[in-house]
Amino acid sequence: MSYRLVYHREIRGKDVPAINQNWRTRISRAIESRLTTEPERYGEPLRRTLKGYWRLRVGDYRVVFKVVKNEVWIYGIIHRREVYDRIIARLSQLR
């Protein structure tokens, strides 16, 4: 099964500019090869307040996503030091 990727609007404006070009390429390849084919296989489920969401680890960066039918909704691509605080704040804005 092939999954369609849907990116949160802040990824292009905030997340990607904070990542250097080498990591951008590596993260992009991981997303394209892993999340479009088998997101549950490559991702790790999150717990507690982020239950229902998943993370893909790419070096020191985390891609936080949710699988909805045949789509993978990507909510953030953020360094591991600040990912969970920023994701919780970002998701609270959606509600």
51-67 tens-digit pLDDT: 999 999 999 999 999 99
User: What is this structure's pTM?
Assistant: 0.94
For residue 77, give every residue at least 6 positions away whose Cβ sits within 8 Å of its Cβ, in sequence order, or none.
11, 15, 16, 19, 27, 61, 62, 63
| Residue 22 in this model has a pLDDT that exceeds 80 | yes
> What is d(CA 81, CA 26) in angstroms, rounded to the nearest whole number?
19
Domains of the chain: 4-94 (3.30.2310.20)
DSSP 50-95: GTT-EEEEETTEEEEEEEETTEEEEEEEEETTTHHHHHHHHHHHH-
pLDDT at 55: 98
Q: Are 63 and 28 in contact (CB under 8 A)?
A: no
What pLDDT, in 10s, does the model give residues 65-88?
A: 999 999 999 999 999 999 999 999
pLDDT at 95: 66
